[in-house]
């Protein structure tokens, strides 16, 4: 028997916050109430908030992209996760060109299993609509990979044409899976990139001008139209939504009974594209890009109206050297690998800029960062602190302020894109299935102690 008692904390349950004790036995939440039983370990959580561990539904660890492999492998990346109270990540299997997605699944498991310190689940990128890719959908679902990402950008690499998108969405829906979509009009991005470069506009800020809001909005409209032709059985999930207009498009389809959902990242809620103009602008190059203040405000208001379903970080980390392609000056914007760190700062950014500023409630914070991704990705035992669920728990001291520095974070890079920000809500303790795995910034779990969690399709 192995039990843990967390006393006197404010627990965030689906029904609201309650000041109670939480009793954990054999890795599961066992009871909530006024509990006086003995336990192997007791944590006094007076004055603290207790939330379900976060589920970051969008990470790229050990990810080969734009001729670089991300700096965070599954060890560094899941340490960063635990540091931020994320107890489960959902990472993207990325087949190489021509590789059978089933072989890529095996490769991803081999990369992740010996290294993870958090739990993890998997999506799979389909980089083609050919028979091999479509035939892999059902066997992947049987292995617990129930969501598939399709790209409308990155020509000759990941982009699928409309016909392939249609075929892939149909096959995924036939087996009850989720289609995740990268919605940007890749052809127009390439065109605008060529035009900007021809005019000598090479600085990082032109990354934003190469992919303006309308590039995403057009793709969101198009994919919603294509998916709606297939029918109401399709579950469509727009990842890293950077514009409120895309949220509105999906909301209108939802009103007609379509299962269309949006994810956004804390990045898009925090900074506008002027970050690309600073000395370290290249560090902020990700796609879609940072937007305008109007988009930031629009996304917050949609979050407050429960119109954004999931908060994923799109954690995709490159070192300064990789971002600069090992040169001592910044290369043209289109050569900088796209991606930013994020998993470790989801909770403090939402807590400080959302909850503390009265924009969202604690219940909303927990829904988008834990309960909803658990539901969507079929992680049946996660995302909630009711009895019977995995005891994946974050304890935060709501009064403790942190000044962000890369030195307190766990990614394998020497910068943070939030350097110097004063944030509340970094966890004091992270617990995975009843075991303390992080305390005051120290990771207590060893490589390989996390587990693969297969997604299950709800019947
Ligand atoms: N966008 C990024 O910024 N990085 C990885 C892939 C993507 O779509
Ligand atoms: Zn993407
Ligand atoms: Zn991504």
Residue nearest to atom 4 of ligand 1 (CA): 339
Both 33 and 101 in one domain: the answer is no
Asked whether 312 lines ligand 1 (CB < 6 A), one says no
Both 423 and 356 in one domain: the answer is no
Both 76 and 29 in one domain: the answer is no
Q: What is the pTM for the complete model shown?
A: 0.98
Counting ligands in written order, the one closest to the CA of 238 is 2
Report residue 1's pLDDT band, with 50, 70 and 90 as the boundaries.
low
Both 217 and 260 in one domain: the answer is yes
- For residue 85, CA distances in Å to 122, 339, 382, 434, 437 come to 19, 21, 14, 14, 10
Q: What CATH number is associated with residue 358?
A: 3.20.20.140
Range of the domain at 435: 3-51+391-399+418-443
Question: Does a structural domain hold residue 214?
Answer: yes
Both 10 and 71 in one domain: the answer is no
> Tens digits of per-residue pLDDT, 220-260?
999 999 999 999 999 999 999 999 999 999 999 999 999 99
Question: Does a structural domain hold residue 405?
Answer: no
Both 19 and 126 in one domain: the answer is no
Both 333 and 226 in one domain: the answer is yes
Both 215 and 347 in one domain: the answer is yes
Question: How far apart, in whole angstroms, are the C-alpha atoms of residue 299 and residue 383?
Answer: 23
pLDDT at 14: 87
> Tens digits of per-residue pLDDT, 267-322?
999 999 999 999 999 999 999 999 999 999 999 999 999 999 999 999 999 999 99
Q: What CATH number is associated with residue 13?
A: 2.30.40.10
Judging by DSSP bridges, how do beta strands 393-396 and 3-13 pair with one another? Answer: unpaired
Question: Does a structural domain hold residue 404?
Answer: no
DSSP count for the chain of H helices, then E strands: 14, 21
Give percent of the chain above pLDDT 70: 100
Question: Does a structural domain hold residue 24?
Answer: yes
Residue 353 token pair: 């800029």
Residue 239 CA: which ligand 1 atom is closest? 8
Residue 60 token pair: 């790229």
Asked whether 334 lines ligand 1 (CB < 6 A), one says no
Asked whether 124 lines ligand 1 (CB < 6 A), one says no
Question: How far apart, in whole angstroms, are the C-alpha atoms of residue 159 and residue 421?
Answer: 36
């Amino acid at each position: 028997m192995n039990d843990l008692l967390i006393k006197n904390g404010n627990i965030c349950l689906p029904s609201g916050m309650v000041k109670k004790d939480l009793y954990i036995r054999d890795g599961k939440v066992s009871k909530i109430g006024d509990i006086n039983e003995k336990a192997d370990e007791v944590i006094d959580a007076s004055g603290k908030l207790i939330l379900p561990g976060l589920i970051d539904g969008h990470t790229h660890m050990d990810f080969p992209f734009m001729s670089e492999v991300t700096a965070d492998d599954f060890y560094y990346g899941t340490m960063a996760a635990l540091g931020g109270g994320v107890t489960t990540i959902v990472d993207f299997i990325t087949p190489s060109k021509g590789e059978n997605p089933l072989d890529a699944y095996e490769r991803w498991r081999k990369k992740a299993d010996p290294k993870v310190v958090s739990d993890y689940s998997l999506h799979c990128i389909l980089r083609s609509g050919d028979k091999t890719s479509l035939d892999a959908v059902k066997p992947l679902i049987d292995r617990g990979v129930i969501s598939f990402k399709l790209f409308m950008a990155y020509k000759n690499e990941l982009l699928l044409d409309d016909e392939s998108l249609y075929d892939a969405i149909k096959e995924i829906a036939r087996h009850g899976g989720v289609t995740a979509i990268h919605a940007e009009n890749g052809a127009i991005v390439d065109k605008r990139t060529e035009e900007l470069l021809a005019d000598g506009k090479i600085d990082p800020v032109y990354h934003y001008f190469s992919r303006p809001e309308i590039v995403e909005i057009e793709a969101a409209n198009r994919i919603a139209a294509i998916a709606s032709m297939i029918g109401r059985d399709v579950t469509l999930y727009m990842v890293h939504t950077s514009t409120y207009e895309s949220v509105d498009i999906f909301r209108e389809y939802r009103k007609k009974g379509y299962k269309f959902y949006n994810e956004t990242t804390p990045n898009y809620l925090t900074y506008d594209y002027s970050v690309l103009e600073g000395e370290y602008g290249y560090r902020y190059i990700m796609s879609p890009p940072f937007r305008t203040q109007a988009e930031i405000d629009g996304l917050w208001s949609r979050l407050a109206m429960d119109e954004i379903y999931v908060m994923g970080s799109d954690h995709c980390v490159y070192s300064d050297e990789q971002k600069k392609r090992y040169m001592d000056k910044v290369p043209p914007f289109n050569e900088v690998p796209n991606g930013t760190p994020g998993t470790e700062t989801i909770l403090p950014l939402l807590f400080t800029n959302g909850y503390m500023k009265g924009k969202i409630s604690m219940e909303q914070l927990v829904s988008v960062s834990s309960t909803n991704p658990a539901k969507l990705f079929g992680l049946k035992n996660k995302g909630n602190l009711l009895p019977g669920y995995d005891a994946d728990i974050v304890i935060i001291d709501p009064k403790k302020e942190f000044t962000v520095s890369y030195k307190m974070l766990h990614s394998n890079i020497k910068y943070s894109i939030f350097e110097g920000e004063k944030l509340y809500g970094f966890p004091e303790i992270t617990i995975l299935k009843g075991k303390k795995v992080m305390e005051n910034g120290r990771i207590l779990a060893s490589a390989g102690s996390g587990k693969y969690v297969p997604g299950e399709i709800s019947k």
